[in-house]
Amino acid sequence: MAGGQERILRRRISSIEATKKITRAMELIAASRIVKAQSRVQAAKPYSEKVTDVIANLAGGGAGVDHPLLTPADEVTRVAYVAIAADRGLCGGYNNNVLRAVERAIAADQSLDRQYALVLSGKKAASYFSFRGYEVHAAYEGFSDQPNYSDAKAIAESVADLFESGEVQQVRLAYTRFLSMGSQEVTIDQFMPLEASEIGADGDGDTGGGGYEFEPEPAEILSRLLPRYAEARLYAALLEGSASEHAARQRAMKAATDNAEDLKTNLTRIMNRARQDAITTEIMEIVSGAEAMNDDGDDGGLDEAITQSLEGSLAALVSDRNDA
């Protein structure tokens, strides 16, 4: 019977409505977190700028640039990748874009006979690579939507160990740069060895008039400072990643909410047609029933009675439909 179909449609619509409420809530949450994540990106800037200043001044003061973190290897045989993705899905292509870029870079390295080492941040990164049979050196998770400096520190330390022990000769950092609300971009930067020119340690930096006193020796300060610089840079990447994650999630959830709305409109239309069909069928049944009875006799009084009962049935049918 047609009423059954109508009931099924009604159930589907209410389930779509429930889903829409969830995606809408996730969209709003993500939107509010983008702002917070962006302000954290801004708040982290003074520290890394100051660290860069101090390094430039140290280099100007003759610190020399022979720190292991600054020394490129003669030959690169193994490259470490730090991939920054999210702990959760439901954020469109955010995770896959970064992870695929890393996978491609590894493939390119392998064609040059270079091995890889993976240091991953985010649950999705770990499951992506372990599912595809990659060997994962270290995986960190549980902080992708709100990373702390201590998280960056832990990752930077494990990477610096790899690099300074000579196990890898290069470290590259893959993350999603947050350009604006509407645009984020996957980037793979060289992370180690640190480039002397980038941090102003090539002696061309602003030496602030020089004449600095140092305590202890400049070289020793530099050796303490460079790991902090690496941490600050990784921290900045984690923060950019989290801002991008929230932006991607907001977009994905907005699209899902819009789709649910469309689906609901279509299904409501189909349901109304089904309801209309059901009513028409029932009227036809009643009318043909009445006709059949009318054909039996030729008593005018009976005709009257049939018309009344027909009107009664129709009224009941309409009020029944309105209640539903």
Partner 1 sequence: MQVELVSPEAVLFSGECSQVVTRTVDGDIAFLDNHAPFIGALDIGQTQLWATDGVISLAINGGFVEVSGNAVTILSDGAMAAQEVDPSEAESDLAIAEEALASDADDQDAANAKKWAETRLRVAATV
269 near partner 1 (CB under 8 A): no
- Restricted to residues 30-49, the positions that interact with partner 1 (CB under 8 A) are 40, 43-44, 46-48
C-beta of 61 vs 205, nearer to partner 1:
61
53 near partner 1 (CB under 8 A): yes
Q: Which of 166, 165, 118 is nearest to 138 (CA)?
A: 118
Q: Which of 79, 86, 91, 152 is catalytic?
A: 91
Half-sphere exposure (Cβ direction) of 295: Cα atoms closer than 13 Å: 6
C-beta of 145 vs 231, nearer to partner 1:
231
> Which x/- pattern over 150-189 shows residues binding partner 1 (rule: CB under 8 A)?
--xx------------------------------------
Q: Where are the alpha helices (DSSP H) in 44-85?
A: 45-60
**DSSP annotation of 68:** G
C-beta of 3 vs 68, nearer to partner 1:
68
C-beta of 202 vs 303, nearer to partner 1:
202
Report the residue from 9, 54, 79, 83 that binds partner 1 according to the rule CB under 8 A: 54
C-beta of 58 vs 196, nearer to partner 1:
58
**103 given a catalytic annotation:** no
Length of the chain: 324
Measured from the CB of residue 147, what is the shortest distance to partner 1 in angstroms? Answer: 10
Peptide bond into 216 cis (omega under 30): yes
Measured from the CB of residue 52, what is the shortest distance to partner 1 in angstroms? Answer: 11
Q: Which of 196, 290, 243 is nearest to 94 (CA)?
A: 243
> Which x/- pattern over 223-242 shows residues binding partner 1 (rule: CB under 8 A)?
-xx--x--xx--x-------
- Measured CA to CA, the distance from residue 8 to residue 10 in angstroms comes to 5
Helices 123-131 and 94-111, packing angle to 10 deg: 50
Q: Residues 176, 83: contact at Cβ < 8 Å?
A: no
- Strand order from edge to edge, sheet including 78-84: 136-140, 115-121, 78-84, 170-180, 183-192
The residues near 21 (Cβ < 8 Å, ≥ 6 apart) are: none
C-beta of 68 vs 227, nearer to partner 1:
227
Cα end-to-end distance, the chain, whole Å: 17
143 near partner 1 (CB under 8 A): no
The pair phi, psi for residue 118, each rounded to 5°, is -110, 125
- Restricted to residues 190-219, the positions that interact with partner 1 (CB under 8 A) are 208-216, 218
Catalytic positions: 91
* Binding region for partner 1 (CB under 8 A): 40, 43-44, 46-48, 50-51, 53-54, 57-58, 61, 148-149, 152-153, 208-216, 218, 220-221, 224-225, 228, 231-232, 235
